[in-house]
Amino acid sequence: MRYLKNQKIGVSNYSELRNKSAKIVRAEDIHAVDLILLQFINSKKNKGHIIVDSHAVTKEIYGFRITAFSYQQLSLLPFTEIYVLYSETNIIQKRIKENPGGRPLVTNFETDMHTFLQASVAINYGIILSIPIYFFDSAESLENLSETIVNRMKK
């Protein structure tokens, strides 16, 4: 959000950002933010675990857009594992309906397509970086899911 405001891109909150998405944010903006993230990660990497919450795939009015890390950016990131959260179609749709936060309502097909595209980006990252990818069912309770992920991180 800070980057967008500094660039005078008219968005006031995350809900509006999700709603307008590709209408206001260009791929170049995302890559600029990725560079800022890279600098932040490299300044903190010796202080403990760093979790990067990435949503390279976005649902747009025309379909989907993927703005993934570049090969050069990936090679500079000290990732050791990739975690992907997924859930069944009906659960994702229920979550969006209960808390849209600017996200559009999506069909079953769009929900599945989004999940599969996001998984394919993660798989590509894992292959490029030669690191393991773990898929976690986010239908689990938040407590169980958190415990499972923390235990995985401790290994």
Quote the pLDDT of residue 1.
64
Query: Strands 82-86, 133-137: parallel, antiparallel or unpaired by DSSP?
Result: parallel
Model confidence pLDDT, tens digit, residues 37-52: 999 988 887 887 888 8
Angle at 19 between CA 68 and CA 17, to 5 degrees: 65
Q: What is the crossing angle of helices 108-129 and 89-98, to 10°?
A: 110
**For the domain with range 2-154, which CATH number is right: 3.90.1520.10, 3.40.50.300, 3.10.20.30, 3.30.70.141?**
3.40.50.300
What is the residue type of 22?
Answer: A
Model confidence pLDDT, tens digit, residues 101-110: 888 889 999 9
Tell me the whole-structure pTM to 2 decimals. Answer: 0.84
Quote the pLDDT of residue 97.
93
pLDDT at 63 exceeding the cut of 70: yes
Angle at 21 between CA 142 and CA 67, to 5 degrees: 80
Q: SS3 for the chain, per residue? A: CHHHHHCCCCCCCHHHHHHHHHHCCCHHHHHHHHHHHHHHHHHHCCCCCCCCCCCCEEEECCEEEECCCCHHHHHHCCCCCEEEEECCHHHHHHHHHHCCCCCCCCCHHHHHHHHHHHHHHHHHHHHHHCCCEEEEECCCCHHHHHHHHHHHHHC
